Structure 1
Amino acid sequence: MPPLMIFAAGLGTRMRPLTDTRPKPLIAVAGRSLLDRALDLGRDAGCGPVVVNTHYLGTQIAAHLAGTEVAISPEPGPILDTGGGLRQALPLLGAGPVMTLNPDVVWTGPNVLTALATAWRDGMEGLLALIPVDRATARQGPGDFTLRDGRLTRRGDHVYAGAQMIRTDLLEGIPDRAFSLNRLWDMMIDRGTLHGMVHPGGWCDVGYPQAIPQAEALIRG
């Protein structure tokens, strides 16, 4: 299985006041932190190595992971966003395609990382896990993509679900230190190499406090 990068460096502003004193990945849903739930997915899928980046209240995440085999990619200066954070972590992840996972999501059903690895094909540069808007629990806002014949274009009735498999060589061509992976996705869309896969199980965006009960109900259900 490919290596896994878990993005844990965000400021968690939508989750305030819960994030006033702790980073969002350490917020518990049904008695288990969001970060541990993400790590469970990686462990069950057999991903390795596993890297977590840190920024806001990063010492708490480092203490939480102490004694584990999870590598930490600290971002002590200005936040690097997803693209810059992934590029900084590449020495820990190694060459080749990598998985990335947003921890502020709860999943039910098949392991999304296993499904991504199974669906990956030669010629793909990116493969995103998607959820139809009408199944995107606690999601705020419209869809992100249209999925047609396996390929993605912008805007439509599918939401990026926070898990992907992606080639990292395009990162070298971006001069900015901090940037979003949306930059890579747009490049891949132009090249016809960004693909999508619909997750068949449940999904909840745990981005703000009111979403926690919805996520817990999804887990119970």
Structure 2
Amino acid sequence: MRDPFPLMYFAAGFGTRMGALTATLPKPLVKVAGLALIDHARRVAAAAGLRHEVVNLHYLGEQIATHLEKSGVILSWERDEILDTGGGLKAALPLLGQGPVLTLNTDAIWTGSNPLVQLMLAWDGDRMDQLFLLLPAHRARSASGRSDFVMDDQGRVDWAKGRDGYLYLGAQIIHPRLLIEAERKFSLHAPWTRAMAAGRAFGVLHMGDWCDVGHPGGIAEAEALLREAGEWPDV
């Protein structure tokens, strides 16, 4: 496995699907099994040996900044407006460098093999500009059976477009050369589409389970998952 990649946590969102829970609390600080969601993500990063961590902040960002004080995590502020996933990542590049970057959503729980280690082991910069962590859609908890991508026998991915396929688990490696949008605010969908069109977007299957914690019901689902896997955090 190559030297650890820099890691970007996405934590700027409004968390509207959480309803009243995020009226005064940013979603990354919502607790699952007694631990804030962003701390679950940081445990994954620590177990993968990652130390270069950046987080983007907007909604109630001061609370997250206070929570992470003395953690060593570098803050990438989006004070004027939220920049979406692509814009947020592009704005943080001076803090991350120009090479491939790991990103991790802060509204999910993973069990089993470390998601970031799996991505780093599967990365091949000669063939890839994009690598997604995936799970067969029918196996994903709290995801309503939707599919994001299909994958061929070489591991290349494309949009599912209604076809049965795989769910993106909020963990990826992306090369910054995909982020060519002229505008400041944009999602990652266009860069992903470019990588797919060039045959340089791939997927790796997660060896474990996953749960979306973007809505209130996901908290109990995630806690059940951790309990079943014997991975309840010692907090």
Q: TM-score, normalised by structure 2?
A: 0.92
**Equivalent residue, structure 2, for 1:161:** 169
Q: CA deviation at 1:135?
A: 1.1
d(CA) in 1 for partners of 2:22, 2:145: 22
User: Is residue 138–residue 145 contact of structure 2 (8 Å, CA) maintained in 1?
Assistant: no
**Match of residue 180, structure 1, among 187, 200, 209:** 187
**Equivalent residue, structure 2, for 1:29:** 32
Q: How many residues align?
A: 220
* 2:126 matches 1:119: no
Determine helix, strand or coil for the equivalent of 1:208: coil
Match runs of 1:31-46 below 5 Å: 31-46=34-49
Match runs of 1:81-96 below 5 Å: 81-96=84-99
The C-alpha deviation readout for 1:101-149, integer Å capped at 9, x for no partner, is: 0010100001010110000012200000001111110013520100112
**Equivalent residue, structure 2, for 1:69:** 72
**Equivalent residue, structure 1, for 2:197:** 190
User: Is residue 5–residue 101 contact of structure 2 (8 Å, CA) maintained in 1?
Assistant: yes
Structure 2 portions without partners, runs of 5+: 229-235
**Equivalent residue, structure 2, for 1:217:** 224
Percent identical: 50
How big is the alpha-carbon RMSD for the aligned residues of Structure 1 and Structure 2? Answer: 0.9
d(CA) in 2 for partners of 1:89, 1:2: 14
**Equivalent residue, structure 2, for 1:151:** 156
The C-alpha deviation readout for 1:191-219, integer Å capped at 9, x for no partner, is: 00000011020100111001111100000
What amino acid maps onto 1:131 in structure 2? L
The C-alpha deviation readout for 1:18-44, integer Å capped at 9, x for no partner, is: 000100000000001100010111111
Structure 1 portions without partners, runs of 5+: none
**Match of residue 3, structure 1, among 6, 9, 14:** 6
**Match of residue 18, structure 2, among 15, 26, 34:** 15
**Match of residue 80, structure 1, among 70, 80, 83:** 83
Q: Which runs of 4+ in 1 moved over 4 A?
A: none
Determine helix, strand or coil for the equivalent of 2:193: helix
d(CA) in 2 for partners of 1:75, 1:41: 25
**Equivalent residue, structure 1, for 2:208:** 201
d(CA) in 2 for partners of 1:135, 1:195: 20
What amino acid maps onto 1:185 in structure 2? W
Q: CA deviation at 1:7?
A: 0.1
